[in-house]
Amino acid sequence: MSRAAAGLAAPEMYGNTARDGAEPMEFLRVVFSRKGITMLNVTTRTLGLILAVTLAATLVACSDDDDESDQDTPAPTPISSPTAVPATPSPTIEPFTGGRDAVEAAFEGTAPPACTLVDVRVDEHPGYDRAVFEFADCMPGYRVEYIDAASGCGSGLPEDVAGAAIIQVNANPAQAHNEAGESTIPSLELTPGLAQILELDSTCDFEGYVTWAIGITEAADFRVIELSEPNRIVVDVQVP
């Protein structure tokens, strides 16, 4: 049956035919109902326009999302510069007080019969070197002085001591051995090789006298200190 016989109007054509000298346009026909066939004719040019508008709207929406994302992102926290630590000041060296004259002290107390030497040690300090003579039982009397040369108290023979000058420490009543005649100190000679004190030598342990020679780099001021618990004779020699 033809459209005319069915009482249906022929669909209207949108766009020109060859009358305009243009190519015929393609159409999309969509049926919306059965009662009366209504045709929606859309040209490909119109469809392209619709797609372009849709794509542009999508891009704008994405751009808005990016802007919101950028706004929500917190700004980076600035990194602070490290705080400068002040330099530790160098320790202050106190002026050395001493001299070059002999220093002596008398024995006070009752020896049992003598104060026993149990240790001799050396240490260095800012501005001076230190020699320590430690005694058990009591503190003996002593005399500390510069001498020209060291010698054995029993034989009188010279003792070789390193250094350009010698300080002698003589203690009485004292001993550096026990009743069996064995030494009560680890060594009879020390060679620390410090800036000022180079060597210490035992030169006498006889008839209540204990003597040590301290060889030093060059003559300088010294001081003597008595310390207790334990009993010690301390000799500090200034470092030039």
Q: What CA–CA distances, in Å, run from 120 to 69, 173, 188, 201, 218? A: 80, 17, 9, 10, 22
Residue 104 tokens, joined: 């002596």
d(CA 67, CA 88): 53
Average pLDDT, the chain: 77
Task: Look at residue 159 in the predicted model and tell me its pLDDT.
Answer: 94
Residue 152's region, left for phi above 0, alpha for psi from -120 to 50, else beta, is beta
pLDDT at 43 over 80: no
More confident residue, 81 or 159: 159
The pTM (predicted TM-score) of the whole model is 0.63
Least confident interval from 6-15, 51-60, 82-91, 168-177: 6-15
Least confident interval from 42-51, 83-92, 118-127: 42-51
